[in-house]
């Protein structure tokens, strides 16, 4: 009598090349694929339904009066791609702009159980909506040991709320204004910024620092140190330094060739990044000095005049001013005209009125939320870019800043 043994699926799986094992795996794979496709279709239909309801709820729609009654028209969803990130194409209603969706993006994203929503122009009235499962501003990130080789290379400013990196090349025409309360991350950002620039052969980091922490001792022995003034022991020395920079600017302006209106930075003609750390404090200290003798100018007037000239005339001959203040009032920055010269502006944690003061009325809606922002989160405005919130890179403790300057900054010959 011949014995017959029936193989159960788990027995067949023991034999790697068994026909039943291969059949079983193929069947389970097809079944899993069908279930996945069915779940994707269900989720896609759910997205369409929730998107329509969400657009109606936040007002990103249009009411149309038809013969059968009032009809709600919302931006129409096209192709859906289940990511990550999950995205879909949307045809905007005539008259809508991508900014209209961005403005209510957080509320739309939360309605669809996501953290953030990114709007990317696609073609014509079509845009791509990308849904982000996590807020890019939630997690702190470190600054790699990067140092640009020239001012034409872009330094890293941070990552915006849509996960996109923000960069800036100092060869571009933009003075920089930073404001923020104590402990909001303003100095940390400045540490990261200068550590990226210190090694460039066509950059000199100059300026005034009454604290003596940002400039001064970290730059001892480097090519940048002769162009810096630190501390409060000699306030007039700060004025003399700024006047020396203005004199150099005048020399460059006078030496511009015919038919040329802008100097291209080079190692022999470097770009000067003039850092004014706690500039309002410098003005207060200068204002407290004794009244000058007859015929002499007050130190505070000399500082304001030099600052204004660097801001208004320095762009053409490779001078960029970076000013740090706790509150960017017009008087604190040397006057309303001086404040208007800053094209790149970053505001760390400040009250709503201070935010609007530097970034204009478009920042008003961010005021309440940004007044309690975590350290390292800033509102950024720059030419060609919409107002955005961003997290700046974290360099580390102050000792790390000193070490990076010591290892990357160009040394004196």
187 is in an annotated binding site: yes
Q: How far apart are CA 185 and CA 89, in angstroms?
A: 37
262 is in an annotated binding site: no
The strand pairing partners of 277, in sequence order, are 209
Q: Are 352 and 183 in contact (CB under 8 A)?
A: no
H/E element holding 205?
strand 203-209
The strand pairing partners of 382, in sequence order, are 385
Q: DSSP string of 244-301?
A: HHHHHHHHHHHTPPTT--SPPPBTTBPEEEEEEETHHHHHHHHHTSPPPPTTPPPHHH
Cα Rg for the chain, rounded, in angstroms?
29
Q: How far apart are CA 314 and CA 341, in angstroms?
A: 11
Q: How far apart are CA 176 and CA 163, in angstroms?
A: 23
183 is in an annotated binding site: yes
Q: How far apart are CA 318 and CA 173, in angstroms?
A: 9
Q: What is the largest CA-CA distance in the chain?
A: 129
At 345, list the tokens: 């502006």
186 is in an annotated binding site: yes
List the strands of the sheet with 86-91, edge to edge.
76-81, 86-91, 126-132, 116-123
184 is in an annotated binding site: yes
69 is in an annotated binding site: no
Torsion on CA atoms 204, 210, 213, 217, rounded to nearest 10: 60
Q: How far apart are CA 270 and CA 152, in angstroms?
A: 12
Q: Are 342 and 175 in contact (CB under 8 A)?
A: yes
Question: Which residues are annotated as part of the binding site for ATP?
Answer: 180-187
**Binding site: what residues are annotated?**
180-187
């Amino acid at each position: 009598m011949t014995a017959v043994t029936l193989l159960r699926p788990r027995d067949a799986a023991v034999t790697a090349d068994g026909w039943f094992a291969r059949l079983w795996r193929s069947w389970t794979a097809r079944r899993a694929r069908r279930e996945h496709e069915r779940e994707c279709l269900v989720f896609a239909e759910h997205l369409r339904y929730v998107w329509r309801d969400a657009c109606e709820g936040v007002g990103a729609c249009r009411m149309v009066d038809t013969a059968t009654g009032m009809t709600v028209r919302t931006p129409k969803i096209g192709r859906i791609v289940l990511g990550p990130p999950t995205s879909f194409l949307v045809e905007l209603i005539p008259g809508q702009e991508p900014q209209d969706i961005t403005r209510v993006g957080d509320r739309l994203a939360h309605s669809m159980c996501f953290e953030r929503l990114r709007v990317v122009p696609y073609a014509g009235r079509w845009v791509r909506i990308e849904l982000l499962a996590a807020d890019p501003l939630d997690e702190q990130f470190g600054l790699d040991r990067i140092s640009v080789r020239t001012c034409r290379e872009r330094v890293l400013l941070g990552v915006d709320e849509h996960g996109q990196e923000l960069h800036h090349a100092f060869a571009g025409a933009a003075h920089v204004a930073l404001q923020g309360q104590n402990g909001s991350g303003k100095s940390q950002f400045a540490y990261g910024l200068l550590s990226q620039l210190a090694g460039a052969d066509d950059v000199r980091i100059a300026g005034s620092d009454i604290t003596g922490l940002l400039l001064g001792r970290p730059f001892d022995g480097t090519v940048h140190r002769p162009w810096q003034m630190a501390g409060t022991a000699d306030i007039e020395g700060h004025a003399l330094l700024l006047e020396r920079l203005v004199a150099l600017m005048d020399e460059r302006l006078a030496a511009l060739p015919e038919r040329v209106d802008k100097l291209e930075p080079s190692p022999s003609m470097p770009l000067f990044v003039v850092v004014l750390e706690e500039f309002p404090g410098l003005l207060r200290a200068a204002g407290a000095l004794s009244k000058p003798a007859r015929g002499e100018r007050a130190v505070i007037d000399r500082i304001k005049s030099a600052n204004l000239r660097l801001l208004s005339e320095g762009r053409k001959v490779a001078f960029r001013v970076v000013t740090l203040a706790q509150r960017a009032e017009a008087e604190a920055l040397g006057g309303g005209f001086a404040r208007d010269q800053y094209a790149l502006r970053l505001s760390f944690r400040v009250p709503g009125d201070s935010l609007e003061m530097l970034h204009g009325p478009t920042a008003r809606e961010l005021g309440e939320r940004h007044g309690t922002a975590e350290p390292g989160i800033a509102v950024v405005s720059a030419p060609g870019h919409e107002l955005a919130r961003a997290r700046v890179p974290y360099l580390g403790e102050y000792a790390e800043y000193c070490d990076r300057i010591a290892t990357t900054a160009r040394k004196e010959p």
